[in-house]
Amino acid sequence: MEDTSPPRVDEPADIGSLFNPFDPAQLEDPYPVYALARRHTPVFYSERLGVWVVTRHADLCTVLRDPAFSSAGSLEATTSFAPEVHAVLSEGYLTFTSLVQSDPPDHTRIRNAFNKALSPSRVAAMEPSIRKIANELIDGFVSEGEADLMSRFAYPLPGIVISDLLGIPRSDVAMLKPWSNDKQVLLAANETTARLVEAARGYVSLQRYFLEHFEDRAREPKDDLITLLLPKEMGGNAPLSVQEAVCNAMDLLAAGHETTSDLIGNGLVLFIEHPDQAAAVRADASLIPTAVDEILRADTPIRGMFRVAKTDYELGGATIPAGAKVFVLYGSGNRDEARFRDPDRFDIHRKDDGAHIAFGKGIHYCVGNALARLEARVAFELLLRRLPNVRYHPSLPAERRPYLILRGFERLPLAWDVSDRA
């Protein structure tokens, strides 16, 4: 009889063909395959994705620090678009320039504008408003005793926060999200031409939306991120071109939203799986900031990002050829036994969690990390306090999202005790 059992994690295997981020078992738990790769083939080629995958913490730090790896164009589709798609895209900006996809000196210039817009003092000043939004969301479902925490809390909270930060109406986010997702469709480029044409229309609509908002702020500046990113040529102070301002504002919708939703969802599950640690956090809220870092390490929301090798590069026993795309697998580095003691154990008291690379490393280190940490801290404090005995739903299962880059839940139905004081 044919053996259909999954490969044992302690036997060397062809990691390249084994590694399949879309396989249901690996979506559920990718970590055994990452561990296998780190042990036997720490840098390997994935035919399926057409990329070199780097899995060890030390090798990841090397790639993230070495200018021999470029971020420019690293998220762009490798195939060229059909003329119909190109025609629609040429009605807007053709390139996908943004902070995360640029190298110095462009990166340094754009990053300076972002550092000001997301400065620690601006972020800290958002706490009362984040607390209010989070409490209002919880008010909306707490008395029901059960809810899908993704759609009722983890998804809307960062969506509202990022729209307030940008200065766009909260009610527009529902309209903008499909357009923002269209950009991902274009980047992945593995759809029919008809779908890519539709995605190109959404992408151009999103550009126009933000362009109009920049034009508005040029006439009437406000206390928001769009005003802070307003290009000089439109009367603002930021050293950005109009195209850079539009593309970066658009990118924040993706960078600052579902990443944080996934951090909240992944963290809730880790607390449910470790009730003793949830109890410790409930009893002492000052433990939450380190718990947030441990959640980021243990179930990293951005499992990886891309780079392009500028030259042939020897790493982890492999030679990555010049021009090749590299997938830096943060989620694997954060479980590396060479860097973390007992890496598969969730432990909010661990001392080495500061070394995690869930926000990246080097010049592209997440510029929104303080905001993400603040949202998560407020979210866990309020959820653990206001949803007593929060647990899995007795009959509805949690469902992971089938994404390559983001790791989180599509649905997370939970239940809790209803009390009068919630």
| Min separation Cβ 260 and ligand HEM, Å | 4
Q: Which of residues 316-355 bind ligand HEM (CB under 6 A)?
A: 330
Q: Which of residues 117-136 bind ligand HEM (CB under 6 A)?
A: 118
Select the residue interacting with ligand HEM from 60, 199, 250, 263 (CB under 6 A).
263
Residue 43: strand pairing partners: 54
Spatial CA neighbour of 69 closest among 361, 305, 306, 310? 310
- Asked if residue 113 binds ligand HEM (CB under 6 A), the reply is no
| Min separation Cβ 56 and ligand HEM, Å | 16
Cβ atoms 358, 299 nearer than 8 A: no
Select the residue interacting with ligand HEM from 160, 238, 372, 378 (CB under 6 A).
372
| Min separation Cβ 75 and ligand HEM, Å | 9
| Min separation Cβ 101 and ligand HEM, Å | 8
List the strands of the sheet with 51-54, edge to edge. 43-46, 51-54, 325-328, 305-309, 69-70
Cβ atoms 137, 156 nearer than 8 A: yes
**Residues belonging to the chain:** 422
Residue pointed to by tokens 């200018």: 67
Select the residue interacting with ligand HEM from 302, 329, 378, 384 (CB under 6 A).
302
- Asked if residue 100 binds ligand HEM (CB under 6 A), the reply is yes
The residue range among 189-197, 233-241, 255-263, 395-403 that interacts with ligand HEM, by the rule CB under 6 A, is 255-263
Q: Which of residues 227-246 bind ligand HEM (CB under 6 A)?
A: none
For residue 51, report the phi and psi dihedrals to the nearest 5 degrees: -140, 160
Q: Which of residues 165-224 bind ligand HEM (CB under 6 A)?
A: none
> Which of 194-201's residues contact partners 24+ apart within 8 Å by CB, and which partners?
196/81, 196/82, 196/85, 197/84, 197/85, 197/88, 200/81, 200/85, 200/88, 200/89, 201/88
Nearer to ligand HEM, 142 or 292 (CB): 292
Cβ atoms 288, 281 nearer than 8 A: yes
Cβ atoms 367, 111 nearer than 8 A: yes
| Min separation Cβ 342 and ligand HEM, Å | 23
| Amino acid (1-letter code) at residue 417 | D
**How many residues line the site for ligand HEM (CB under 6 A)?**
25
Nearer to ligand HEM, 46 or 71 (CB): 71
Nearer to ligand HEM, 51 or 252 (CB): 252
Nearer to ligand HEM, 65 or 391 (CB): 65
Q: Which of residues 350-369 bind ligand HEM (CB under 6 A)?
A: 358-360, 364, 366-368
CA-to-CA separations, 357 to 42, 157, 282, 289, 310, in angstroms, rounded: 17, 24, 27, 16, 23
Rounded CA separation 150/288 (Å): 20
| Min separation Cβ 351 and ligand HEM, Å | 21
Sign of CA dihedral 400, 401, 402, 404: negative
- Asked if residue 301 binds ligand HEM (CB under 6 A), the reply is yes
Q: Which of residues 30-89 bind ligand HEM (CB under 6 A)?
A: 71
Q: Which residues bind ligand HEM (CB under 6 A)?
A: 71, 99-100, 111, 114, 118, 252, 255-256, 259-260, 263, 301-302, 305, 330, 358-360, 364, 366-368, 371-372
